[in-house]
Structure 1
Amino acid sequence: MTLTAPEQTEQTVVALTSELVSDPVRGYTELRRQAPLVRVTLPDVETPVWLITRYEDAKAALADPRFVRDETKIPGYVQEGPSIAQQMIEAYGLPAEYGEYLGIMVITDGAEHARLRNVVTKSFTARRIAELRPRIEQITRDLVTPLAGARQAELLEDLGYPLAATVICSLIGVEDEDVPRMRTWIREYASGDLEKVIPALKNMVETSKELIVRRRENPTDDLMSQWIATENEPDGLTETEMVALVLLLINTGITPPALFIATSVLTLLDHPDQLAKLRREPALLLRAVPELLRYISPVPMGAPLYATEDLDFAGMPLRKGEAVTSALIAANHDPHEYRSPERLDITRELGRGVGHVALGHGAHYCIGAALARTEAEVALEELLIRHPGLTLGVARDELEYFDLPGEGRHLHKLPVRF
């Protein structure tokens, strides 16, 4: 890997593999040393982007109003070929007609983003999630008890996905009988298997439309009913926006939390000294979960940001229209921000704010952050503290992984024994 200076933009570009995207040390360490920004291509994306690997630079970019996520908002924008987001969608093999349901809030900015975000955040406040915690604890116990009785489980299929799906679907208003199907479809959607992705997306869209019809006729105390009640107001949602938000919440509210729970269990099993410390002091869960978020960074790469003008960033010139993206996992392992960042330390006192960028930063900070932390705290307490005999069910090198375009490598299964 060689230094990529601004004048070398067309000559030197580093290709990031899915394996490297998820690796906090190999590769990123060298890129971080080279320059504040390096030119890279993401997996399945041809358009080069400037990659941010340093913590302070990632936070600055995510909060800088000179960057936008929607490149059509760049003054004088003229599209030349598919955007980075479109290339990522094409990498999944998704039909163009579903494009209107994808990327909502993720690639919007300013007042439009604030309008959409405001209709969702009321159900994800820290207070609302705290009130929901006993319900999350009960769901988790109900799931784990029979697994412990059977003395074995596959934590993604048997706990992570059912827990996250039950909670987020309940908040949205998805009917109980549809929750298992939604859970199956989102796993197929996240599988990377194109033969499963497209049917799964179609099924989720149609089920969301059916839910809208039912809630218009029979409103209840859920997000969908709230959206429908205000759809004729100036800031109300269109039906397309409602479907898109259901897909967003189902996707981000199930797959990342499920993967984070499973990967956190594996990480603690890989660090028996930290696991023993947690079992001696269960109150350390309040520090352990943020540290695990930093260490694992379940979403390793941030969304592309586009410069709306020629500007200097992190001491380097950027041209109007150029894209930057943050390697969140690299930022969370920046040695200038963290002492021994490659070491898991559940007693670590993180810096100001949340102390990491695993859940983003600024206007696009994860809406479900409090929910994700609570689900992880409850699941880890149930699995690793209440069941101290839990061990890996296969040899460490037999674990299976899968890749997602631009999102790195993730666990496919996590077999355990109680």
Structure 2
Amino acid sequence: MSEQFSRLTNATVSNPAEYGPLREQGPLLRTVIDGAELPVWFVVGFDDCKEILHDSRFIRDQSKLPGAEGPSLTDEILKQVGMPREYFKYFGLLTLSDGEEHTRLRNVVARAFTARRVNALRAGLERTASDLHAALSAKGEGDLISELGYPLATASICELMGIEEADRPQLQDWIMELATYDPERFVPAVRGIVEYFKDLIARRRSEPTDDLVSVLVKPGGMDQDLLVEDVIISISLLLTNTGIAPPAYFLGQAVLSLLSHPDELARLRTRPELLAKHAVPELFRYATSVPTGGPLYAAEDFEFRGCPVKRGDPVVPSLVGVNHDPKQFSDPQRLDVARDLGPGIGHLAFGSGSHYCTGAGLAELETEIVIDTFLIQNQGMELAVEPDQLQYFDLPGKGTLLSSLPVRF
């Protein structure tokens, strides 16, 4: 008897208004999401998702399962975009690892995201945001994703990693190509990034500076047995890809959310003290920077809240779904810049547990600075098109993202 499962479009995955019927089907929904043809268990409830993210019976590395066969979801998506297999090894190193291996890799990445290093970026990012606002307002119009989100996020992550300013425009262009998921653009961009970091690693080995790559390649340094060239390239690709594209699109979505809720924007302008502690966390809950979390795999056969999960079954958390769960949030489809999300973070936009996003603090800082610069300190910016004319594009098997945010000043 063939397995029964539903199909979800990427647009549905990213639309909180369509989650009502999905919640009625139980804590886990067996489905296929367009662009990734493997059936998954889709998680839409806040408590269910948080429990799974902390449950040791779910792991990230499918290859560690006894008798594991077939491609992982990550491999399936790379195959869909025509990625040569020789490049598969550079994807998912940290997000698809578990246990001691993950802890060691995460500790390496965390060196770039200490609170001290992130806080030290504030003044520079404020200047960058102010300069970008001045340039856009002088022009009278622009796209806040390509002309604000991407350059600001690129400046942030490259400053943390120590990538020279002269190299940043090319790196930004490659990351923008990756976000298209167009094989004719995606594959050359990955090749370019890999070759760039091979060259940078060689340069830092011969002439080290005070940056992250120099620390990673330093002979006799911490975790040197772990940090072979392929691993350093994987870490660098992870940091630049996740540190540029998701924040760039989220910043556009966050601004759109406030422009679409003029009463809440007026409230925030009247009470700017709400920005950091209430409005920014609420924007991450409401707009959610990425629609779905990374896949997990059942390490054994068991029942999860009545659902028969088999060993090897992939489980995908819907971050949009859990952040709009009416059992967790009052009136979840309403943006409330004064919402109290309770102790801790209060949302799952950055995940939870051992795989909690290491760049969360940087993402929050970027959002605070952009909202303050573009919507509080400076006013008068508005959408240049009607909301129903905005364009979105598919992230295969993951949801959709806003393509551009045309505004005028």
1:37-87 deviation per Cα after TM superposition (whole angstroms, max 9, x unaligned): 11011222222111111000101111111110111212x2231x3222211
Q: CA deviation at 1:266?
A: 0.8
Please name the residue that 1:3 is paired with.
none
Please name the residue that 1:15 is paired with.
7
Question: Is 1:156 equivalent to 2:148 in the alignment?
Answer: no
Asked whether the 8 Å contact 2:112–2:161 carries over to 1, the reply is no
Q: Distance in 2 between matches of 1:104 and 1:11?
A: 31
Q: CA deviation at 1:11?
A: 3.9
Q: CA deviation at 1:236?
A: 4.0
- Counterpart of 2:167, as a letter, is D
Asked whether the 8 Å contact 2:83–2:187 carries over to 1, the reply is yes
Please name the residue that 1:169 is paired with.
158
Please name the residue that 1:262 is paired with.
252
1:177-208 deviation per Cα after TM superposition (whole angstroms, max 9, x unaligned): 11000111100111122211111111111111
1:279-307 deviation per Cα after TM superposition (whole angstroms, max 9, x unaligned): 11111112111111111112111121111
Match of residue 359, structure 2, among 358, 368, 371: 368
Please name the residue that 1:4 is paired with.
none
Moved over 6 A (4+): none
What SS does the corresponding residue of 1:48 show, helix, strand or coil?
Answer: strand
RMSD: 1.5
Asked whether the 8 Å contact 1:115–1:235 carries over to 2, the reply is no
Give the alignment of 1:15-414 within 5 angstroms: 15-26=7-18, 28-74=19-65, 76-79=66-69, 81-229=70-218, 233-286=223-276, 287-414=278-405
Residues 168 and 234 of structure 1, relative CA distance in 2, 3 Å threshold: closer
What SS does the corresponding residue of 1:375 show, helix, strand or coil?
Answer: helix
Q: Distance in 2 between matches of 1:19 and 1:262?
A: 18
What SS does the corresponding residue of 1:341 show, helix, strand or coil?
Answer: coil
Q: Distance in 2 between matches of 1:162 and 1:146?
A: 13
Asked whether the 8 Å contact 2:150–2:244 carries over to 1, the reply is yes
Q: CA deviation at 1:412?
A: 1.3
1:90-146 deviation per Cα after TM superposition (whole angstroms, max 9, x unaligned): 122211111111111011111111111111102212232122211211221122222
1:7-29 deviation per Cα after TM superposition (whole angstroms, max 9, x unaligned): x9x44211111111111121x21
Please name the residue that 1:5 is paired with.
none
What SS does the corresponding residue of 2:82 show, helix, strand or coil?
Answer: coil
Asked whether the 8 Å contact 2:57–2:299 carries over to 1, the reply is yes
Any gaps of 5 or more consecutive residues in structure 1? 1-7
- Counterpart of 2:53, as a letter, is L
Q: Distance in 1 between matches of 2:347 and 2:220?
A: 36
Count the aligned residue pairs.
407
What SS does the corresponding residue of 1:220 show, helix, strand or coil?
Answer: coil
Any gaps of 5 or more consecutive residues in structure 2? none
Deviates further, 144-153 or 337-346: 144-153
Asked whether the 8 Å contact 2:68–2:312 carries over to 1, the reply is no
1:233-282 deviation per Cα after TM superposition (whole angstroms, max 9, x unaligned): 55441111111111101110001111111111111111111111111111
Asked whether the 8 Å contact 2:145–2:252 carries over to 1, the reply is yes
Q: Distance in 1 between matches of 2:283 and 2:122?
A: 20
Asked whether the 8 Å contact 1:311–1:319 carries over to 2, the reply is yes
Residues 253 and 231 of structure 1, relative CA distance in 2, 3 Å threshold: farther
Q: Distance in 2 between matches of 1:288 and 1:407?
A: 26
Q: Distance in 1 between matches of 2:38 and 2:94?
A: 22
Q: CA deviation at 1:230?
A: 5.1
- Counterpart of 1:378, as a letter, is I
- Counterpart of 1:241, as a letter, is V
**Identity across aligned pairs (percent)?**
46
Asked whether the 8 Å contact 2:121–2:156 carries over to 1, the reply is no
Residues 270 and 73 of structure 1, relative CA distance in 2, 3 Å threshold: same
Deviates further, 39-48 or 374-383: 39-48
Asked whether the 8 Å contact 1:231–1:237 carries over to 2, the reply is no
